[in-house]
Amino acid sequence: MDISAEHDVRRPVAVVTGVAQGIGRSVAEGLAAEGYALVLADLKDPVETLATVRDMGAEAVAVVGDIASESHVAGLAEQVRERFGQVDVLVNNAGVSLLSPAEDTTAEQWRWVLEVNLTGPFLLCRALGQLMLEAGSGSIVNIASIAGLHGVADRAAYNASKHGLIGLTRTLAAEWGGRGVRVNAVCPGWVKTEMDAADQASGGYTDSDIVERVPMARFAAPGDIAQATAFLADPARSGFINGTALPVDGGWTADASWTSLRLGKR
Ligand SMILES: NC(=O)c1ccc[n+]([C@@H]2O[C@H](COP(=O)([O-])OP(=O)(O)OC[C@H]3O[C@@H](n4cnc5c(N)ncnc54)[C@H](O)[C@@H]3O)[C@@H](O)[C@H]2O)c1
């Protein structure tokens, strides 16, 4: 990160993780369009996302590294403090998927998924939440999943991590809401991203499995998740929403219809 440039203090600052592709990239572009300065965090250098948001006029820097590493997160928070002196929004989006029957899931796989999907967001909330608490304002949006609200077979580690992330969200909302820091979660249904392509390639499911299950008869687009995230990030639009887990799923979690009943309504 180049810490030499001057930050325009009138612009709110957002830290977004997992921005090299998929949902995180769309979230970063959406926040850039709304005038945020951006810290783009990913394991991979988010070259294309950085170029796009800069083309959109956003002040933006990339921080490459593993969000599950405590020392990396501490360094990231220090760079944010030095470069911007503030952070208004944190979007914990980086995550990994694991499709595996519970009885075949190794302890190593389990720990890896929990580290990236739950410990990483906790470390970022703790480090950047400190800056928000000092300022008395801020908004954290955790990208969970409908798999954090319900069980889905062959995803024990992933689902436990997302249930945990929603538990973390509700707890921080209770702990920090009185000091001006809101914490919410977005729970996407299935979204067309590289993660979906990899999961389908491993034989987990097909497009029609998902489309048949969703009342609105389609996958989410990354932009659907980005819109909900921008809404929860912005105190002008969601200033009294704290501790919610918002499904963005085309009605999936609301719908207990059997398949022929659902398909008969199309
Ligand atoms: N795609 C879906 O259907 C879907 C559904 C519900 C929830 N989600 C959640 O949304 C988030 C984004 O999903 P996506 O589909 O865009 O995934 P993706 O795999 O397409 O992108 C994830 C990004 O996170 C980064 N990342 C992974 N591990 C990291 C680490 N340890 N440190 C830093 N960066 C790391 C990757 O490099 C990548 O750029 C994830 O938390 C995922 O669980 C996705």
Domains of the chain as residue ranges with CATH:
13-264 (3.40.50.720)
Q: Which atom of ligand 1 lies at the shortest distance from residue 191's CA?
A: 3
Q: Which atom of ligand 1 lies at the shortest distance from residue 117's CA?
A: 41
Alpha-carbon distances of 162 from 27, 37, 44, 235, rounded to whole Å: 19, 28, 22, 25
pLDDT tens digit sequence for 12-34 = 999 999 999 999 999 999 999 99
199 C-beta closer than 6 A to ligand 1? no
Residue 6 C-alpha to ligand 1 middle, in angstroms? 31
The preferred substitution site among 16, 17, 19, 23 for testing ligand 1, maximizing ligand atoms within 8 Å of CB, is: 23
93 C-beta closer than 6 A to ligand 1? yes
* pLDDT at residue number 2: 53
**205 is annotated as an active-site residue:** no
pLDDT tens digit sequence for 90-135 = 999 999 999 999 999 999 999 999 999 999 999 999 999 999 999 9
* pLDDT at residue number 48: 98
**pTM (global) more than 0.75:** yes
The preferred substitution site among 29, 191, 211, 248 for testing ligand 1, maximizing ligand atoms within 8 Å of CB, is: 191
Helix or strand (DSSP H, E) at 102: none
Question: Looking at the predicted structure, is the pLDDT value of residue 7 above 80?
Answer: no
Q: What is the mean pLDDT of the chain?
A: 96
248 C-beta closer than 6 A to ligand 1? no
Phi-psi region of 134 (alpha: psi -120 to 50; beta: other; left: phi over 0): alpha
24 C-beta closer than 6 A to ligand 1? yes
- State the Cα–Cα distance between residues 252 and 5, nearest whole angstrom: 46
What average pLDDT does range 36-43 have in this prediction? 98
Question: Looking at the predicted structure, is the pLDDT value of residue 4 above 90?
Answer: no
pLDDT tens digit sequence for 198-231 = 999 998 899 999 999 999 999 999 999 999 999 9
143 C-beta closer than 6 A to ligand 1? yes
Percent of the chain with pLDDT over 70: 98
pLDDT tens digit sequence for 173-194 = 999 999 999 999 999 999 999 9
Q: Which atom of ligand 1 lies at the shortest distance from residue 66's CA?
A: 32
pLDDT tens digit sequence for 140-167 = 999 999 999 999 999 999 999 999 999 9
Residue 181 C-alpha to ligand 1 middle, in angstroms? 24
What average pLDDT does range 238-245 have in this prediction? 98
pLDDT band for 10, please (50, 70, 90 cuts): confident
Beta strands in 28-158 (DSSP E): 37-42, 60-64, 89-92, 138-143
- State the Cα–Cα distance between residues 12 and 59, nearest whole angstrom: 10
Question: Looking at the predicted structure, is the pLDDT value of residue 5 above 80?
Answer: no
Residue 180 C-alpha to ligand 1 middle, in angstroms? 28
Question: Looking at the predicted structure, is the pLDDT value of residue 3 above 70?
Answer: no
Question: Looking at the predicted structure, is the pLDDT value of residue 1 above 90?
Answer: no
Contact criterion met (CB below 8 Å) for 154 and 99: yes
